[in-house]
Amino acid sequence: MSYDGSTDGAGAQTVWEIAVSVGEDQLELTSDLLWSLGATALEERPASPGAALVVTMSDRAAAEHFLGSLLAPTTGVDPSTVNLERREFVASQSWRDHARWHRIAPDLLVGPSWLEAPVPGDAIAIEPAGSFGLGDHPTSGISLAETRALVRPGDRVIDLGAGSGVLSIAAVLRGAVEVCAIDISPEAVAAARLNIKMAGCADRVTTILDGTGAAAVAAFDGSADLLVANILAPELVALAGPIDAAVAPSGRLVLSGFPEARIPFVNAAFPDWVESRRRIRGNWCALVLRRR
């Protein structure tokens, strides 16, 4: 891992870029990892061989925290492929200037909090901060669709890997009376709390920072009606025991955050569950499971 503290301008906004150099065969899995760690947006730049995946953050402490998570032994990332660089850029070039509202479902829009929703109706405004973006990543979209399809009035819901909190908000809009939004990233938890408050859902959503998510999930002890997890496949497998124990006998799981090729790996970790259906968007998937 190398660090470049140079700047290239005056009077511009300082940002911190984390670039990961990968081969073509690792682009998908590395993108998956970066999203799961809290990337707000990813830029793919040409490199030889393969490409460089770039995450941009406006805060040095947040960038260093992200870098530490990226280089944790469990990720398997080679430090020599990672570069942290300070840059100066004109604020008008920010990706925020190009953010737009997205129609996730016929009756639901998700978009940036700094822009007015284009049409009336159900709309979830998101301030991504250091979280999982604006809810427009494919796994967020398909997880949202399943959350809206499965939540019933009065349900207790776990949102594991909550990111911006968009799934928690969607659950409340569908009638959930209690939602637990869990994430391992302090930046994501802060963003989720802000978005949940803006949506008027703070009385029904508890946000929890948990290093692995296991303790917070285990606290439900078989009482959750629905658990939605939008995290990496290895993390899902590692948490299979606590996830199983947290959900009621009649409950459902929505598992997402991984490519379609990882479905057998994930399903094998939940032998007491059977797949009800799956949603595929691009190469990404969401599985709905029920108990056998």
* Number of domains forming the structure of the chain: 2
- pLDDT for 1 equals 52
pLDDT in tens, 223-270: 999 999 999 899 999 999 999 999 999 999 999 998 888 999 999 999
SS3 string of 1-67? CEEECCCCCCCCEEEEEEEEEECHHHHHHHHHHHHHCCCCCCEEEECCCCEEEEEEECCHHHHHHHH
Residues 146 and 121 in one domain: yes
Domain that holds residue 60: 2-91
Same domain for 112 and 82, yes or no, is no
How many of the other CB atoms lie within 10 Å of CB of 48? Answer: 7
Pair 128, 244 in one domain: yes
User: 149 and 269 share a domain?
Assistant: yes
The tens digit of pLDDT for each residue in 56-106 reads: 887 888 889 999 999 999 999 999 999 999 987 654 445 667 677 877 666
Confidence (pLDDT) at 227: 98
At 78, which CATH number? 3.30.70
190 shares a domain with 53 = no
pLDDT over threshold 60, residue 181? yes
178: domain CATH number is 3.40.50.150
* Whether residues 160 and 264 fall in one domain: yes
- pLDDT for the residue numbered 130: 56
Do 136 and 73 belong to one domain?
no
pTM, 2 dp: 0.69
Task: Read off the tokens for 130.
Answer: 């250091």
Quick: pLDDT tens for 107-133: 778 888 888 877 666 788 888 765 556
